[in-house]
Amino acid sequence: MPNNLQPAAPTDVLPAGLCSAFQEQLRIEGFYNAYVDGASDRYALQLNPRKFFRMTRRLRATADYQTLWSFYSAHLIQPFYFYHGPETTPPWTSDPSGAATPGRYTVVFDGSWSDAINLGRSEASFGLREVA
């Protein structure tokens, strides 16, 4: 049935104070199917590269950890906006309403949450995947 998929409609923005330590990757994901005789089928799953962001962030205050965890748990399967600092205008700014488009990506969480809780400091790690 053509035209049965609706585009992602994000409503929230990842809090700016919690998104400063991201690594960016460009990927073209593909399909690979190997057969016993050594033959294979391969093709790209999308035409353009998709951006992936990986974050490992030290959180000093319990409030920062709780804010990030509650945002993660509320958006496990919902898309949201993420502002990539170098691409925003002016650089390294974020719009909490999500109205500004420069540097804004519609993303979902990619993979699972990982954390290490120590005395006085915590470290959280997760990934974001751009949604086309």
pLDDT digits (tens, 9 = 90+) for 54-100: 888 888 777 888 888 899 999 988 999 999 888 888 888 888 898 99
Decide: residue 127, CB within 10 A, 0-12 exposed, 13-18 middle, 19+ buried.
buried
Taking the C-alpha atoms of residue 132 and residue 118, their distance in angstroms, rounded to an integer, is 37
User: What's the whole-model pTM score?
Assistant: 0.79
Mean pLDDT of 111-129: 85
Judge whether 111 lies within some domain.
Answer: yes
Q: What is the residue range of 30's domain?
A: 16-130
Q: What is the pLDDT of residues 12-42, one digit of tens each?
A: 998 877 666 678 888 888 888 999 998 999 8
Q: Give the chain's domain count.
A: 1
In the three-class reduction of DSSP (H, G, I as helix; E, B as strand; rest coil), residue 3 is classed as: coil
Which bin fits 93, alpha (ψ -120 to 50), beta or left (φ > 0)? beta
Contacts of 20 (CB under 8 A, 6+ apart): 57, 85
In this structure, is residue 8 part of a structural domain?
A: no
The predicted structure's pLDDT at residue 102 = 92
Which CATH number belongs to the domain containing residue 27 in this structure? 2.40.30
11 within domain boundaries? no
Residue 89, domain member (yes or no): yes
The pLDDT of 1-18, averaged and rounded, is 76
What pLDDT score was predicted for residue 64? 83
Residue 5 located in a structural domain = no
Residue 22 counted as domain residue: yes
More confident residue, 3 or 14: 14
Q: Is residue 77 part of a domain?
A: yes
Please provide residue 83's backbone torsions phi and psi, each rounded to the nearest 5 degrees: -100, 120
Flag whether 9 is in a domain.
no
CA dist 118 and 72 (Å) reads: 20
What is the pLDDT at residue 4? 67
